[in-house]
Amino acid sequence: MDLKKEIKVSPLLFLSLDDFLNTVAVVVAMSGGVDSSVAATIMAKSGCDLSAVFMRNWDKRDESGTDVGCQWEKDWEDVQRVCTMLDIPVKMIDLSQQYWTRVFEPSLEEWQRGITPNPDVPCNKEIKFGALMDVALSGPNQWLVTGHYARVHRVNLPSGGTRCTLVKAVDSSKDQTYFLSSISQTQLSRGLFPLGNYLKRDVREMASKLGLPTADRPESMGLCFVGQKEGHIDRFISQYLPPNPGPIVDLKGNTIGQHQGLWSYTIGQGARIPGQPTKMFVAAKNIERNTIVAVPGSHHPALYCKAVQTTSWNWISGEPPCVLLSGGWLEADSKICYGDREEKCTVVLQGEGVLATFANPVRGVAPGQYAVLYSGEQCLGSGKIIDTTPVDPNLDSTVPP
């Protein structure tokens, strides 16, 4: 079967005519999954000078001393099979060291301090659109294609040149702009997302009809370095962090349980404390005292906040909206966790980030997570949460005295 004849697509769906005419090369990042396989197939039909790369991020030898039987070997085999069918060259790039130093180690430090990081967000900035883009794209007029469900709109500026905006995918249930919210304007301007206009079910059907070897591959879920392993995230982290036991207390300061490390729980999570009349949930952590606060019931007021303070904010456009620069406030939609519904909020610049005040209280917000802002379909950017404002002023985020 000639897969290139099965899909009709114009590269002008992704690039301006000038960009396409000046294109030197297009490189597709492949993972061994169905999404990147279909993205490669679409671009193969576009007539671009196409090649592929497989990015190896995690080295199992760091844990077990051997690579044998590691999931990346299966992924690499599937990538090679797809590229053979598409008749495009492919190579493997080992970025496990860069991933370790730029993503995993900083995340491990945050877990140790009781913060809840989301490594998949900096992975896109530091690895896929950072280290990989630096290696795979050797010069101008080259593009990196990924299987993300997102879209890029290129807008011509009156002063000349273009500005790229990151826009939600057509399939709202699979939209991945949350994970792309930390990439820069420069990185975004060199990225192509051919799946942004497709529904997931159509991508899966396309792969099946074309006979792609990855058509029946299951969805990859969870953190990229934990998804391959048995057990929960806390059991995985315990391989790298020694136990640091401390008390779990109620709002009155009474000890009701023990934890093995602040990293073993996140805000809003069930506390797994035996012997309690009501199921308890984590409401706060006190890093200095190595203490976790738990409250009864999944909708206790202490589980909700009305605002978040962020830092290290990234505006995808390269600068804040004019209304914020002039000292005003911006109405936007916010998302704290991937898969959560968006929340209306009011935003002002504050420090190195923004202060976002929600129209309605939001449950289970933890420092270390990312607050992502949207204006309609456009993703404006994101920043890391460093503090929350409780709904009840009498319920601060520290352990009761």
Q: Which two tokens stand for residue 145?
A: 């294609």
Give the model's pLDDT for residue 219.
78
pLDDT tens by residue, 166-176? 999 999 999 99
Give the model's pLDDT for residue 222.
55
In degrees to the nearest 10, what's the CA dihedral of 319, 324, 327, 330? -170
| Banded model confidence at residue 158, pLDDT cuts 50, 70, 90 | confident
Helix (H) or strand (E) holding 18: helix 17-22
Q: What is the CA radius of gyration of the chain?
A: 23
Residue with tokens 């998804």: 227
| Banded model confidence at residue 50, pLDDT cuts 50, 70, 90 | very high
Give the pLDDT mean for 366-371: 96
Give the model's pLDDT for residue 264.
92
Give the pLDDT mean for 145-173: 92
Helix (H) or strand (E) holding 36: helix 34-45
| Banded model confidence at residue 2, pLDDT cuts 50, 70, 90 | very low
∠ CA(278), CA(364), CA(114), 5° rounding? 100
Give the model's pLDDT for residue 30.
96
Question: CB within 8 A of 268, min separation 6: which ones?
Answer: 281, 282, 303, 363, 364, 365, 366
Whole-Å CA distances, 168 to 172, 193, 229, 339, 379: 7, 11, 31, 13, 7
Residue 192 has pLDDT above 90, yes or no: yes
Least Cα distance to 122 among 251, 312, 288 occurs for 312
| Banded model confidence at residue 346, pLDDT cuts 50, 70, 90 | very high
Alpha-carbon span 196 to 202, nearest angstrom: 12
Residue 65 has pLDDT above 80, yes or no: no
- 356 touches 373 (CB < 8 A): yes
Alpha-carbon span 340 to 210, nearest angstrom: 34
Give just the sign of the alpha carbon dihedral 220, 225, 229, 230: negative
Helix axes 71-86, 34-45, angle to 10 degrees: 20
pLDDT tens by residue, 206-248? 999 999 999 988 876 555 555 444 347 778 888 899 999 999 9
pLDDT tens by residue, 240-282? 999 999 999 999 999 999 999 999 999 999 999 999 999 999 9
Give the pLDDT mean for 47-52: 88
Three-state DSSP state, 289: coil
Give the pLDDT mean for 294-301: 96
Give the pLDDT mean for 7-31: 65
Question: CB within 8 A of 396, min separation 6: which ones?
Answer: 390
Alpha-carbon span 96 to 177, nearest angstrom: 24
| Banded model confidence at residue 28, pLDDT cuts 50, 70, 90 | very high
Reading phi first (left if > 0) and then psi (alpha if -120 to 50, else beta), residue 260 is in alpha
pLDDT tens by residue, 86-124? 999 999 999 999 999 999 999 999 999 999 999 999 999
Alpha-carbon span 315 to 348, nearest angstrom: 13
Give the model's pLDDT for residue 382.
98
Q: What is the pTM of this model?
A: 0.90
Q: Give the residue numbers marked as catalytic.
A: 123, 224
Alpha-carbon span 218 to 223, nearest angstrom: 15
Whole-Å CA distances, 236 to 59, 226, 231, 260, 264: 15, 7, 7, 13, 10
Residue 16 has pLDDT above 70, yes or no: no
**What percentage of the chain carries pLDDT values higher than 70?**
86
